[in-house]
Amino acid sequence: MSTNKGLLDFNLSDELVEVGELIRNICEKEIVPRRAALDEKEEYPFEIFAKFKEAGLPGIMYDAEYGGMGADLFASIVFSEIVSEYCLGVNTAISATKLGALPIEHGGTEEQKKKYLSAFASGEKIGAFGLTEPNAGSDVPNLSTTAVKKGDRYILNGTKQWISNAGVADVYTIFALTDKSKGPRGMSCFIVEKGTKGLSYGKLEQKMGIRCSHTRQVIMEDVEVPEENLVGLKPNRGFIHAFQTLSSSRPAVAASAVGLATGAYKEAVKYARQREQFGKNIINFQAVQHMLADMATRIEQARLITYRAAKYAMAGHPEAAKFSAMAKYAASETAVAVANDALQLHGGYGFTKDYPIEKMYRDAKILTIYEGTSQIQKNEIGAYIIKESATMK
Protein backbone atom coordinates (compact mmCIF):
# COMPACT_ATOMS: atom_id res chain seq x y z
CA MET A 1 0.00 0.00 0.00
CA SER A 2 2.80 2.42 0.80
CA THR A 3 4.12 2.21 -2.79
CA ASN A 4 0.90 3.70 -4.14
CA LYS A 5 0.44 6.37 -1.47
CA GLY A 6 -0.76 9.52 -3.19
CA LEU A 7 -0.55 7.98 -6.67
CA LEU A 8 -4.32 7.70 -7.01
CA ASP A 9 -5.08 11.14 -5.59
CA PHE A 10 -6.23 12.98 -8.69
CA ASN A 11 -7.49 16.12 -6.96
CA LEU A 12 -6.07 19.22 -8.61
CA SER A 13 -4.50 21.91 -6.48
CA ASP A 14 -6.36 25.20 -6.09
CA GLU A 15 -3.68 26.81 -8.25
CA LEU A 16 -4.19 24.32 -11.08
CA VAL A 17 -7.96 24.74 -10.86
CA GLU A 18 -7.50 28.51 -11.32
CA VAL A 19 -5.05 27.96 -14.18
CA GLY A 20 -7.56 25.59 -15.80
CA GLU A 21 -10.25 28.25 -15.64
CA LEU A 22 -7.89 30.77 -17.24
CA ILE A 23 -7.03 28.32 -20.03
CA ARG A 24 -10.72 27.60 -20.65
CA ASN A 25 -11.57 31.32 -20.82
CA ILE A 26 -8.88 31.91 -23.43
CA CYS A 27 -10.04 28.88 -25.41
CA GLU A 28 -13.63 30.08 -25.49
CA LYS A 29 -12.68 33.61 -26.49
CA GLU A 30 -9.80 32.93 -28.85
CA ILE A 31 -10.05 29.37 -30.20
CA VAL A 32 -13.78 28.84 -30.76
CA PRO A 33 -14.19 31.83 -33.13
CA ARG A 34 -11.01 30.94 -35.08
CA ARG A 35 -10.71 27.15 -35.19
CA ALA A 36 -12.73 26.55 -38.35
CA ALA A 37 -10.84 29.23 -40.30
CA LEU A 38 -7.47 28.07 -39.00
CA ASP A 39 -8.31 24.54 -40.13
CA GLU A 40 -9.60 25.64 -43.53
CA LYS A 41 -6.63 27.92 -44.27
CA GLU A 42 -3.99 25.77 -42.55
CA GLU A 43 -2.83 28.78 -40.56
CA TYR A 44 -0.53 28.38 -37.58
CA PRO A 45 -2.29 29.80 -34.48
CA PHE A 46 0.17 32.62 -33.77
CA GLU A 47 -2.52 34.95 -32.40
CA ILE A 48 -3.81 32.32 -30.00
CA PHE A 49 -0.28 31.48 -28.89
CA ALA A 50 0.27 35.19 -28.23
CA LYS A 51 -2.75 35.23 -25.89
CA PHE A 52 -1.42 32.23 -23.97
CA LYS A 53 1.99 33.90 -23.82
CA GLU A 54 0.42 37.14 -22.58
CA ALA A 55 -1.20 35.17 -19.74
CA GLY A 56 2.13 33.51 -18.89
CA LEU A 57 0.73 30.05 -19.60
CA PRO A 58 3.73 28.51 -21.43
CA GLY A 59 5.51 28.77 -18.08
CA ILE A 60 3.21 26.29 -16.34
CA MET A 61 5.03 23.46 -18.10
CA TYR A 62 8.50 24.37 -16.78
CA ASP A 63 10.37 24.50 -13.49
CA ALA A 64 10.64 27.80 -11.63
CA GLU A 65 14.45 27.79 -11.87
CA TYR A 66 14.10 28.13 -15.64
CA GLY A 67 11.51 30.88 -15.56
CA GLY A 68 8.46 28.67 -15.30
CA MET A 69 5.78 28.42 -12.65
CA GLY A 70 7.27 25.30 -11.12
CA ALA A 71 4.15 23.26 -11.78
CA ASP A 72 4.37 19.48 -12.08
CA LEU A 73 3.42 17.18 -14.99
CA PHE A 74 -0.23 17.63 -14.12
CA ALA A 75 -0.01 21.20 -15.41
CA SER A 76 0.78 19.86 -18.89
CA ILE A 77 -2.05 17.35 -18.48
CA VAL A 78 -4.54 20.09 -17.59
CA PHE A 79 -3.34 22.32 -20.45
CA SER A 80 -3.50 19.58 -23.09
CA GLU A 81 -6.86 18.24 -21.97
CA ILE A 82 -8.61 21.61 -21.89
CA VAL A 83 -7.13 23.07 -25.09
CA SER A 84 -7.80 19.85 -27.02
CA GLU A 85 -11.44 19.95 -25.97
CA TYR A 86 -11.68 23.06 -28.15
CA CYS A 87 -9.09 22.26 -30.85
CA LEU A 88 -6.56 19.43 -31.01
CA GLY A 89 -4.69 21.27 -33.76
CA VAL A 90 -4.04 24.30 -31.57
CA ASN A 91 -2.93 22.09 -28.70
CA THR A 92 -0.57 20.14 -30.96
CA ALA A 93 0.94 23.36 -32.30
CA ILE A 94 1.57 24.76 -28.83
CA SER A 95 2.45 21.56 -26.97
CA ALA A 96 4.99 20.51 -29.61
CA THR A 97 7.37 23.00 -27.98
CA LYS A 98 7.22 21.06 -24.72
CA LEU A 99 7.93 17.85 -26.65
CA GLY A 100 11.01 19.48 -28.16
CA ALA A 101 12.06 20.65 -24.71
CA LEU A 102 11.85 17.24 -23.02
CA PRO A 103 15.20 15.84 -24.26
CA ILE A 104 16.87 18.95 -22.81
CA GLU A 105 14.93 18.60 -19.56
CA HIS A 106 15.89 14.94 -19.21
CA GLY A 107 19.48 15.05 -20.39
CA GLY A 108 20.69 18.60 -20.89
CA THR A 109 23.40 20.40 -18.96
CA GLU A 110 22.47 23.26 -16.63
CA GLU A 111 23.73 25.72 -19.21
CA GLN A 112 21.55 24.17 -21.91
CA LYS A 113 18.52 24.14 -19.63
CA LYS A 114 18.93 27.77 -18.61
CA LYS A 115 19.41 28.91 -22.19
CA TYR A 116 16.62 26.98 -23.90
CA LEU A 117 14.04 26.03 -21.27
CA SER A 118 13.88 29.64 -20.11
CA ALA A 119 13.15 30.75 -23.68
CA PHE A 120 10.41 28.12 -24.00
CA ALA A 121 8.90 28.99 -20.61
CA SER A 122 8.62 32.68 -21.50
CA GLY A 123 7.11 31.89 -24.89
CA GLU A 124 10.01 33.69 -26.54
CA LYS A 125 10.93 30.64 -28.59
CA ILE A 126 8.99 27.77 -30.19
CA GLY A 127 10.44 24.27 -30.18
CA ALA A 128 10.20 21.01 -32.15
CA PHE A 129 11.19 17.37 -31.68
CA GLY A 130 12.99 15.56 -34.50
CA LEU A 131 13.17 11.77 -34.24
CA THR A 132 11.00 10.28 -37.02
CA GLU A 133 12.44 9.81 -40.51
CA PRO A 134 10.97 8.75 -43.90
CA ASN A 135 12.16 5.16 -43.30
CA ALA A 136 12.31 5.20 -39.52
CA GLY A 137 8.98 5.94 -37.87
CA SER A 138 8.14 3.23 -35.38
CA ASP A 139 11.36 1.53 -36.52
CA VAL A 140 13.74 3.78 -34.59
CA PRO A 141 16.74 1.41 -35.03
CA ASN A 142 16.56 2.18 -38.78
CA LEU A 143 17.56 5.81 -38.13
CA SER A 144 19.85 7.13 -40.88
CA THR A 145 20.56 10.77 -39.92
CA THR A 146 24.24 11.05 -39.02
CA ALA A 147 26.36 13.41 -36.93
CA VAL A 148 30.10 13.28 -37.61
CA LYS A 149 32.54 14.92 -35.20
CA LYS A 150 34.82 17.48 -36.83
CA GLY A 151 36.98 19.39 -34.39
CA ASP A 152 34.70 21.18 -31.94
CA ARG A 153 31.64 20.73 -34.14
CA TYR A 154 29.30 18.01 -35.41
CA ILE A 155 28.21 17.81 -39.05
CA LEU A 156 24.58 16.63 -39.39
CA ASN A 157 23.13 15.08 -42.53
CA GLY A 158 19.70 13.52 -42.96
CA THR A 159 15.96 14.14 -43.19
CA LYS A 160 13.33 14.11 -40.48
CA GLN A 161 9.70 13.40 -41.39
CA TRP A 162 6.33 14.47 -39.92
CA ILE A 163 7.87 17.09 -37.64
CA SER A 164 5.31 19.24 -35.83
CA ASN A 165 6.26 22.96 -35.85
CA ALA A 166 8.90 22.40 -38.57
CA GLY A 167 9.55 25.72 -40.25
CA VAL A 168 7.88 27.57 -37.40
CA ALA A 169 10.11 26.46 -34.53
CA ASP A 170 13.18 28.39 -33.43
CA VAL A 171 14.84 25.38 -31.78
CA TYR A 172 14.94 21.69 -32.81
CA THR A 173 16.07 18.68 -30.80
CA ILE A 174 17.41 16.39 -33.51
CA PHE A 175 18.40 12.73 -33.08
CA ALA A 176 21.30 11.43 -35.15
CA LEU A 177 23.74 8.52 -35.19
CA THR A 178 27.18 9.35 -33.80
CA ASP A 179 28.32 5.72 -33.80
CA LYS A 180 26.68 3.53 -36.47
CA SER A 181 28.35 0.39 -35.12
CA LYS A 182 26.20 0.60 -31.98
CA GLY A 183 22.86 0.91 -33.80
CA PRO A 184 20.26 2.84 -31.79
CA ARG A 185 22.67 2.83 -28.82
CA GLY A 186 24.95 4.99 -30.94
CA MET A 187 22.35 7.74 -31.23
CA SER A 188 22.80 11.26 -29.86
CA CYS A 189 20.57 14.31 -29.52
CA PHE A 190 21.51 17.77 -30.78
CA ILE A 191 20.05 21.24 -30.33
CA VAL A 192 19.78 22.87 -33.74
CA GLU A 193 18.68 26.48 -34.08
CA LYS A 194 16.62 27.91 -36.91
CA GLY A 195 18.74 29.77 -39.44
CA THR A 196 21.69 27.39 -39.17
CA LYS A 197 23.34 27.00 -42.59
CA GLY A 198 22.21 23.83 -44.36
CA LEU A 199 18.96 23.54 -42.38
CA SER A 200 15.83 23.64 -44.54
CA TYR A 201 12.25 22.39 -44.58
CA GLY A 202 10.00 20.40 -46.88
CA LYS A 203 6.56 21.37 -48.12
CA LEU A 204 3.69 21.94 -45.72
CA GLU A 205 1.99 18.55 -45.47
CA GLN A 206 -1.66 18.53 -46.56
CA LYS A 207 -3.18 16.66 -43.64
CA MET A 208 -6.63 15.26 -42.98
CA GLY A 209 -6.77 16.81 -39.52
CA ILE A 210 -4.93 19.12 -37.07
CA ARG A 211 -4.35 21.34 -40.08
CA CYS A 212 -3.38 24.46 -38.12
CA SER A 213 -0.46 22.48 -36.67
CA HIS A 214 2.26 22.76 -39.31
CA THR A 215 4.00 19.54 -40.30
CA ARG A 216 7.03 19.42 -42.60
CA GLN A 217 10.26 17.59 -43.22
CA VAL A 218 13.39 18.94 -41.56
CA ILE A 219 16.30 18.60 -43.97
CA MET A 220 19.93 18.80 -42.90
CA GLU A 221 22.71 19.14 -45.46
CA ASP A 222 26.11 19.52 -43.80
CA VAL A 223 24.57 21.36 -40.87
CA GLU A 224 27.31 22.41 -38.46
CA VAL A 225 26.34 22.24 -34.80
CA PRO A 226 28.74 23.36 -32.06
CA GLU A 227 29.83 20.65 -29.64
CA GLU A 228 28.14 22.60 -26.84
CA ASN A 229 24.78 21.80 -28.48
CA LEU A 230 25.15 18.06 -27.95
CA VAL A 231 22.50 17.38 -25.31
CA GLY A 232 24.27 16.54 -22.07
CA LEU A 233 27.65 16.96 -23.83
CA LYS A 234 27.89 13.15 -23.93
CA PRO A 235 27.53 11.26 -27.24
CA ASN A 236 25.53 8.05 -27.69
CA ARG A 237 22.94 8.95 -25.04
CA GLY A 238 20.17 9.79 -27.50
CA PHE A 239 18.32 6.50 -27.16
CA ILE A 240 17.87 7.15 -23.43
CA HIS A 241 16.79 10.75 -24.08
CA ALA A 242 14.22 9.56 -26.66
CA PHE A 243 12.85 6.84 -24.37
CA GLN A 244 12.53 9.26 -21.44
CA THR A 245 10.91 11.87 -23.66
CA LEU A 246 8.25 9.54 -25.06
CA SER A 247 7.51 7.98 -21.66
CA SER A 248 6.87 11.40 -20.12
CA SER A 249 5.09 12.92 -23.14
CA ARG A 250 2.57 10.14 -23.69
CA PRO A 251 0.40 11.03 -20.67
CA ALA A 252 0.01 14.52 -22.14
CA VAL A 253 -0.93 13.04 -25.53
CA ALA A 254 -3.43 10.82 -23.74
CA ALA A 255 -4.80 13.91 -21.99
CA SER A 256 -5.27 15.62 -25.35
CA ALA A 257 -7.23 12.56 -26.50
CA VAL A 258 -9.41 12.80 -23.40
CA GLY A 259 -9.93 16.47 -24.18
CA LEU A 260 -10.98 15.89 -27.78
CA ALA A 261 -13.33 13.09 -26.70
CA THR A 262 -14.85 15.38 -24.08
CA GLY A 263 -15.40 18.11 -26.66
CA ALA A 264 -17.03 15.65 -29.07
CA TYR A 265 -19.23 14.26 -26.29
CA LYS A 266 -20.40 17.76 -25.30
CA GLU A 267 -21.26 18.55 -28.92
CA ALA A 268 -23.25 15.29 -29.10
CA VAL A 269 -25.20 16.07 -25.91
CA LYS A 270 -25.92 19.61 -27.06
CA TYR A 271 -27.16 18.39 -30.43
CA ALA A 272 -29.27 15.62 -28.86
CA ARG A 273 -31.02 18.16 -26.63
CA GLN A 274 -31.84 20.39 -29.60
CA ARG A 275 -32.68 17.93 -32.37
CA GLU A 276 -36.33 16.88 -32.60
CA GLN A 277 -37.59 13.70 -34.26
CA PHE A 278 -40.97 12.02 -33.93
CA GLY A 279 -42.20 14.87 -31.73
CA LYS A 280 -39.48 14.91 -29.08
CA ASN A 281 -35.80 15.72 -28.56
CA ILE A 282 -33.65 12.75 -29.54
CA ILE A 283 -31.91 12.72 -26.15
CA ASN A 284 -35.12 11.11 -24.85
CA PHE A 285 -34.64 8.05 -27.06
CA GLN A 286 -33.05 5.10 -25.27
CA ALA A 287 -30.81 4.31 -28.23
CA VAL A 288 -29.31 7.80 -28.03
CA GLN A 289 -29.00 7.60 -24.26
CA HIS A 290 -27.07 4.35 -24.61
CA MET A 291 -24.69 5.96 -27.09
CA LEU A 292 -24.09 8.88 -24.74
CA ALA A 293 -23.68 6.55 -21.76
CA ASP A 294 -21.01 4.59 -23.61
CA MET A 295 -19.22 7.79 -24.58
CA ALA A 296 -19.28 9.23 -21.06
CA THR A 297 -18.06 5.98 -19.53
CA ARG A 298 -15.21 5.52 -21.99
CA ILE A 299 -14.06 9.10 -21.47
CA GLU A 300 -13.96 8.65 -17.71
CA GLN A 301 -12.02 5.39 -18.06
CA ALA A 302 -9.50 7.09 -20.35
CA ARG A 303 -9.17 10.05 -17.99
CA LEU A 304 -8.51 7.82 -14.99
CA ILE A 305 -5.75 5.79 -16.65
CA THR A 306 -4.24 9.01 -18.06
CA TYR A 307 -4.11 10.62 -14.62
CA ARG A 308 -2.67 7.44 -13.14
CA ALA A 309 0.05 7.38 -15.81
CA ALA A 310 0.87 11.01 -15.04
CA LYS A 311 1.08 10.28 -11.30
CA TYR A 312 3.37 7.31 -11.94
CA ALA A 313 5.61 9.38 -14.21
CA MET A 314 5.85 12.15 -11.61
CA ALA A 315 6.74 9.67 -8.87
CA GLY A 316 9.31 7.79 -10.95
CA HIS A 317 7.26 4.65 -10.42
CA PRO A 318 8.79 1.49 -11.97
CA GLU A 319 5.61 0.96 -14.03
CA ALA A 320 5.51 4.52 -15.35
CA ALA A 321 6.46 3.61 -18.93
CA LYS A 322 3.94 0.77 -19.06
CA PHE A 323 1.09 2.96 -17.86
CA SER A 324 2.13 5.76 -20.22
CA ALA A 325 1.77 3.31 -23.12
CA MET A 326 -1.56 2.05 -21.75
CA ALA A 327 -2.88 5.59 -21.34
CA LYS A 328 -1.81 6.68 -24.80
CA TYR A 329 -3.34 3.57 -26.38
CA ALA A 330 -6.61 3.61 -24.43
CA ALA A 331 -7.24 7.35 -24.63
CA SER A 332 -6.43 7.73 -28.34
CA GLU A 333 -8.69 4.84 -29.31
CA THR A 334 -11.40 6.32 -27.08
CA ALA A 335 -11.11 9.69 -28.83
CA VAL A 336 -11.60 8.05 -32.25
CA ALA A 337 -14.57 6.00 -31.02
CA VAL A 338 -16.28 8.90 -29.27
CA ALA A 339 -15.77 11.27 -32.21
CA ASN A 340 -17.22 8.61 -34.51
CA ASP A 341 -20.30 8.08 -32.33
CA ALA A 342 -20.77 11.81 -31.86
CA LEU A 343 -20.77 12.34 -35.62
CA GLN A 344 -23.14 9.38 -36.09
CA LEU A 345 -25.51 10.94 -33.59
CA HIS A 346 -25.48 14.18 -35.59
CA GLY A 347 -26.57 12.28 -38.71
CA GLY A 348 -26.08 14.08 -42.00
CA TYR A 349 -25.45 17.39 -40.24
CA GLY A 350 -22.33 15.96 -38.61
CA PHE A 351 -20.90 15.28 -42.06
CA THR A 352 -20.89 18.98 -42.87
CA LYS A 353 -18.56 21.76 -41.79
CA ASP A 354 -21.52 23.59 -40.25
CA TYR A 355 -20.92 21.63 -37.06
CA PRO A 356 -17.57 21.34 -35.22
CA ILE A 357 -17.89 17.56 -34.88
CA GLU A 358 -16.77 17.12 -38.51
CA LYS A 359 -13.39 18.67 -37.67
CA MET A 360 -13.11 16.78 -34.38
CA TYR A 361 -13.71 13.54 -36.27
CA ARG A 362 -10.89 14.33 -38.71
CA ASP A 363 -8.55 15.48 -35.96
CA ALA A 364 -9.08 12.44 -33.74
CA LYS A 365 -7.37 9.88 -35.97
CA ILE A 366 -3.88 11.32 -35.58
CA LEU A 367 -3.99 10.49 -31.88
CA THR A 368 -3.66 6.77 -32.71
CA ILE A 369 -0.65 7.50 -34.93
CA TYR A 370 1.73 10.18 -33.65
CA GLU A 371 4.15 9.64 -30.77
CA GLY A 372 3.78 5.90 -31.23
CA THR A 373 0.92 4.14 -33.00
CA SER A 374 -1.64 2.10 -31.08
CA GLN A 375 0.13 -1.03 -32.32
CA ILE A 376 3.48 0.17 -30.96
CA GLN A 377 1.84 0.93 -27.60
CA LYS A 378 0.47 -2.63 -27.51
CA ASN A 379 3.91 -3.98 -28.39
CA GLU A 380 5.37 -2.11 -25.43
CA ILE A 381 2.58 -3.22 -23.09
CA GLY A 382 3.09 -6.79 -24.31
CA ALA A 383 6.81 -6.60 -23.55
CA TYR A 384 6.00 -5.62 -19.97
CA ILE A 385 3.51 -8.48 -19.71
CA ILE A 386 6.19 -10.96 -20.82
CA LYS A 387 8.60 -9.55 -18.27
CA GLU A 388 6.01 -9.66 -15.50
CA SER A 389 4.92 -13.18 -16.42
CA ALA A 390 8.32 -14.52 -15.46
CA THR A 391 7.65 -13.63 -11.83
CA MET A 392 4.00 -14.67 -11.68
CA LYS A 393 3.10 -17.48 -9.31
Supply the residues annotated as catalytic.
371
If one counts every other C-beta atom within 10 angstroms of the C-beta of residue 7, the result is 16
Nearest residue to 314 (alpha-carbon basis) of 27, 1, 9: 9
In angstroms, the Cα distances linking 357 to 90, 188, 259, 346 are 16, 41, 13, 8
In angstroms, the Cα distances linking 366 to 109, 209, 254, 346 are 33, 7, 12, 22
SS3 330: helix
- Amino acid present at 292: L
What's 60's DSSP letter?
G
Got the DSSP string for 332-360? HHHHHHHHHHHHHHHGGGGGSTTSTHHHH
Nearest residue to 235 (alpha-carbon basis) of 191, 184, 193, 189: 189
* Dihedral sign for Cα atoms in the order 37, 76, 377, 330: negative
Give dist(CA 388, CA 391) in Å, integer: 6
Give dist(CA 69, CA 61) in Å, integer: 7
CA 142, distance to chain mean position in Å, is 23
Nearest residue to 58 (alpha-carbon basis) of 130, 129, 125, 128: 125
* Dihedral sign for Cα atoms in the order 174, 331, 312, 141: negative
What are φ and ψ of residue 223, in 5° steps? -80, 120
Residue 54 burial (C-beta neighbours within 10 Å; 0-12, 13-18, 19+): exposed
What's 230's DSSP letter?
B
